[in-house]
Chain A
């Protein structure tokens, strides 16, 4: 059983739509991370959360520690948001390395 599960695996949206990507985990964590990877590109950290909610531009990340669940929302989606979004966790007591979900491929159509 994977420690970090993401859904959906693939998501296609029309420009302007509100998008939600979900992440659930089954272990104790000290932080949860949302990462973005464009095709052929590097990996960029979007958010690091240990509680509550964070917002950056059109991106919002929330975490519910009791339910072991996080969501990444994109408001007013745009074709440039097309990328793979990866949820990852830092396990409690670890050397801060990440354990990753399988990623969500998002395609936003104009």
Chain B
């Protein structure tokens, strides 16, 4: 447990509405990630952050934006939700694990349904 929480845990929204998902960590890790998980596609990277105000796009970033104004919070925003964004969203952090690399710890996930 790396002290990662996500809110909300479940959300149902309508097409065209904005949605913001929050990821909060308590251990001051530099790297944070947003992934989505879909049947048939597995887990894919949406956006990531390597520090406050430092973010970059991942594999499936279209339709999403992110912000990181504090080390502990990484926000994912769907500016205008579409049904194709119905998914389970996982936040993760990267924690150094000695000389061999970083271990990733995942939040509990947010199930988003766009009607």
Q: Which residues of A contact B (CB under 8 A)?
A: 30-31, 33, 35, 42-45, 48-51, 86, 88, 90, 95-103
In the bound complex, do residue B100 and residue A100 qualify as a contact, i.e. CB atoms below 8 Å apart?
no
Cα-based distance from A97 to B60 in the complex (angstroms):
13
Known: A42-B109, A43-B90, A98-B43. A48 touches B31 (CB 8 A): no
- The prevalent SS among residues of B at the interface is strand
Contacts between the two chains (Cβ within 8 Å), count: 65
Q: Name the residue of chain A whose CB is nearest to the CB of B33.
A: A97
Give which listed residue, B33, B35, B90, B105, contacts A45 with CB less than 8 A: B105
Task: Quote the shortest CB–CB distance from B21 to chain A (angstroms).
Answer: 15
B56, CB-defined interface residue at 8 Å? yes
B91-115, CB under 8 A of A: which get 1 and which 0?
0101001001111111111000000
In the bound complex, do residue A86 and residue B43 qualify as a contact, i.e. CB atoms below 8 Å apart?
yes
Known: A48-B97, A90-B102. 14 other contacts (CB 8 A): A42-B107, A42-B109, A43-B90, A45-B104, A45-B105, A51-B100, A86-B42, A95-B31, A95-B50, A96-B102, A98-B33, A100-B42, A100-B43, A100-B44
B74, CB-defined interface residue at 8 Å? no
Task: Quote the shortest CB–CB distance from B87 to chain A (angstroms).
Answer: 14
In the bound complex, do residue A48 and residue B42 qualify as a contact, i.e. CB atoms below 8 Å apart?
no
